[in-house]
Amino acid sequence: MTALQTRTDAEVERSTQALREAGTQLLLGSVTDLAGVTRGKYVPLDRVPAFHRSGMGASPSWSVFCVDSGIAFTPELGVVGDLRIRVDPTQARPVEDGVAWAPGEFYEQDGTPSSMCTRGALARQAARAADLGLSVLVGAELECTVLAPDGSHSTTSPWSPYSVRTSLAHAGLLREVTARFAAAGLPIEQLHDEYGHDQLELSLPPLPPVEAADAVVLARILLSRAAESQGLRISFSPVPFAGEAGNGAHLHLSLADEEGPLLAGGDGPHGMREAGQHAVAGLVDSLPELLALHAGSVLSPVRLQPGNWAGAAACWGLENREAAVRLLGATQGNPHGANVELKVVDPSTNPYLAVATMLGAALDGIEEKTELPAEVTDAPDGATLPPLPTTQRDALAALDGSARARRLLGDGIVGGVLAVRTYEADTFGERPVADVAEALRLAWTC
């Protein structure tokens, strides 16, 4: 049961009234599909209770819409049938003048949860953690690239990473982003110019798993709209321009039981407790088979290369930015406490699936007492590490054969992901990267 299903009529009515008093005219309810694209439907405010209780219709093929508007129909996901998108109005936030957004979930017409619902899949992993007596926090980083309206770079003077000059050139955008996040009640942890030309990064604070994935969707909407209001665009492509820095969507995970954090206060490496070591081991162990859910698009392998700080090596290490799993210790400089960062994730992934599988793999490690492999303390030596798939098709083959992915997410979601990503491989896989980067530059923008 997700929180959405437990909302009472009175709660829904109160939320609707609050939206009305704030001048809202329309509620946008969104779902993010298996290619990582967020899609939605709108209702005027008097239809909000119906959007929550009965939902608005969507063909099952919504799950297999592709990055370029193609549809990767499967025998199960076709033109016949109907799903309902239901929203949680208690989570609504303003995103534009008169428009609020709320997260949505897929249901069958009879009101039972759909097996294709990625928010529901994440809620199941969150409930599993709670059943194990664990509390979970997830913090998301959003890297993106600011564009001119025609999709080219938004600034033409030479770029300088993290520079005051280049960041102040975007001061109007940064101000707009800050105002919109404040209006939406979504705190910004930090904001800065990144390594790539016109690349921006915004970090969100740690939140419970479902709220964390919702916050990624909301943040993508707010960033995209802030840019548009300044006559700019935002790209959430893993590779907006061939040969330039890629965009990551790193996720931080911390776990605690009633005795405290699992990744600190123990006698294991860097103070990890035994369960914390198993959680990290589970994450590392799962990487090859789950890569297609973390960085599964046709452009993802172009970003996921050694030297890009994208975590292209299947290993873990304290503060190691080339390791797929980077451990951050409990120090004064880290007020949120010890956590692990999954660096392989990029913004072409569905954030609900990325968080669900990251958490699921950590919980598998705890339950199965997976043994922690040796730490990698330097730039990883690919020759001695368990390899990650290096092509999209290899990542898809590993996912196809993954009993773990099917257990964590169900056959429906795994089959849908395989369908949309295979479509990408067939449609774009043989084309030059520069063409594909251009074609998909705005594919994940909200």
Q: Could you tell me the smallest distance in angstroms from the CB atom of residue 347 to Mg ion?
A: 12
Residues 238-277 that bind ligand GLU (CB under 6 A): 245-248
Is the Cβ–Cβ distance between 80 and 90 less than 8 Å?
A: no
Which of Mg ion, ligand GLU, none does residue 264 bind to, with CB < 5 to 8 Å depending on kind? none
Quick one: which of 229, 308, 422, 427 contacts ligand GLU (CB under 6 A)? 308
Is the Cβ–Cβ distance between 347 and 143 less than 8 Å?
A: yes
- Which residues fall within 8 angstroms of residue 112, CB to CB, at 6 or more apart? none
> Given the complex with Mg ion, which of 201 and 289 has the nearer CB atom?
201
Residue 105 region by backbone torsions, left for phi larger than 0, else alpha for psi between -120 and 50, else beta:
beta
Separation of alpha carbons 238 and 419, rounded Å: 20
Separation of alpha carbons 62 and 64, rounded Å: 5
> Given the complex with ligand GLU, which of 105 and 193 has the nearer CB atom?
193
> Given the complex with Mg ion, which of 201 and 214 has the nearer CB atom?
201
Which of Mg ion, ligand GLU, none does residue 309 bind to, with CB < 5 to 8 Å depending on kind? ligand GLU
Quick one: which of 278, 303, 421, 441 contacts ligand GLU (CB under 6 A)? 303
With binding defined as CB under 5 A, does residue 322 bind Mg ion?
no
Question: Which amino acid, 320?
Answer: N
Which of ligand GLU, Mg ion, none does residue 246 bind to, with CB < 5 to 8 Å depending on kind? ligand GLU
With binding defined as CB under 5 A, does residue 201 bind Mg ion?
yes
Long-range CB contact pairs, 159-167, < 8 A, 24+ = 159/196, 159/197, 159/198, 161/193, 161/194, 161/195, 161/196, 162/192, 162/193, 162/194, 162/195, 163/193, 166/193, 167/192, 167/193
With binding defined as CB under 6 A, does residue 415 bind ligand GLU?
no
> Given the complex with ligand GLU, which of 47 and 321 has the nearer CB atom?
321
With binding defined as CB under 6 A, does residue 406 bind ligand GLU?
no
Among 13-21, 85-93, 200-208, 341-349, the segment contacting Mg ion (CB under 5 A): 200-208
Q: Could you tell me the smallest distance in angstroms from the CB atom of residue 369 to ligand GLU?
A: 31
Q: Could you tell me the smallest distance in angstroms from the CB atom of residue 174 to ligand GLU?
A: 18
> Given the complex with ligand GLU, which of 116 and 219 has the nearer CB atom?
219
Residue 111 region by backbone torsions, left for phi larger than 0, else alpha for psi between -120 and 50, else beta:
left
Site map (CB under 6 A) of ligand GLU, residues 317-356, x = contact: ----x---------------------x-------------
Dihedral (CA of 174, 153, 347, 2) sign: positive
Among 94-102, 118-126, 201-209, 427-435, the segment contacting Mg ion (CB under 5 A): 201-209
Which of ligand GLU, Mg ion, none does residue 42 bind to, with CB < 5 to 8 Å depending on kind? none
Q: Could you tell me the smallest distance in angstroms from the CB atom of residue 131 to ligand GLU?
A: 33
Is the Cβ–Cβ distance between 170 and 177 less than 8 Å?
A: no
Which of Mg ion, ligand GLU, none does residue 120 bind to, with CB < 5 to 8 Å depending on kind? none
Residues 136-175 that bind ligand GLU (CB under 6 A): 143
Separation of alpha carbons 73 and 387, rounded Å: 32
Query: Binding-site residue total for ligand GLU (CB under 6 A)?
Result: 11
> Given the complex with ligand GLU, which of 143 and 193 has the nearer CB atom?
143
Separation of alpha carbons 423 and 290, rounded Å: 19
With binding defined as CB under 5 A, does residue 88 bind Mg ion?
no
> Given the complex with ligand GLU, which of 88 and 201 has the nearer CB atom?
201
Query: To 10 degrees, what angle do helices 351-368 and 118-131 make?
Result: 30
Tokens encoding 1: 């049961």
With binding defined as CB under 6 A, does residue 310 bind ligand GLU?
yes
> Given the complex with Mg ion, which of 162 and 386 has the nearer CB atom?
162
- Which residues fall within 8 angstroms of residue 144, CB to CB, at 6 or more apart? 199, 200, 201, 202, 223, 234, 235, 236, 247, 347
Separation of alpha carbons 276 and 125, rounded Å: 17
Q: Which residues bind ligand GLU (CB under 6 A)?
A: 143, 245-248, 303, 308-310, 321, 343
